[in-house]
Amino acid sequence: MFSKPMDFIGGEVLCIDKPLGWTSFDAVKRLRGALSRRLGLKKIKVGHAGTLDPLATGVMIICTGRATKRIDELQAGVKEYIATIALGATTPSFDLETEIDATYPTAHITEELVREVLGRFIGSIEQIPPAYSACKIDGHRAYDLARKGREVQLKAKTLVIDEIELLSFSPEEITIRTLCSKGTYIRALARDIGQALDSGAHLTALRRTRVGDITIDDCLSVDDAATLIREAEIVPAPEQ
């Protein structure tokens, strides 16, 4: 898998395919534990370059040791996602984390209308992040406040969407591929697409297929990454 010795303290970048249902922290915790056991260290720096929601899968970049200094650089890369969006219904979280709270007509939605609407989102846009997000309000995570029933008001952020491609269409569901900048919430994009269609929408599946130059084909499963840590030839840890 890797022909050279691995220097987890000096810094390595591991690319994994995050499983459905796992938080980003779950993935980091699993690999940090594997590293601690392999190196015999209680503490080792491990971080990720870009959060993925538990209901999303795909490319996650894990940095170890001194490579954690590269996190800002790595997560700044363009992101590619494949998203499935249900039309005609909304949820408070804009995805399947919460129950449907309203339904809307879809009979007027045609493939031509969807293509026209998607074109409106290409380029520099303003997007209000979801209330169920990791954005901070007075030191508190927005999702913590939202889950407690508190009203959450977030400011719009400027971001760039380079491409949106319609992969499949029905009046009740579409699948899109999008290439976008750091900070784009695909859940919020689904919300905005629904509104632009004079209907409602929410995200039902999301897969991140690229971060910068790293694609899903470059990624290991979490289990394979843990095996790599356990079995790869390594550069010995420095004396403590």
* 218 DSSP assignment: G
5-34 b/e (C-beta count within 10 Å ≥ 16 → b):
ebbbbebbebbbbbeeebebeebbebbbeb
In 3D, which of 225, 238, 234, 228 has the Cα closest to residue 28?
A: 225
- The catalytic site residues sit at 53
DSSP class of residue 237 equals P
What is the spatial distance between Cα 112 and Cα 224, in angstroms, rounded to a whole number? Answer: 43
DSSP 8-state symbol, 93: T
| Tokens at 190, concatenated | 């689904």
**Contact in structure between 35 and 29 (CB atoms under 8 Å):** no
Between the alpha carbon of residue 177 and those of residues 62, 96, 209, the distances in Å are: 24, 19, 9
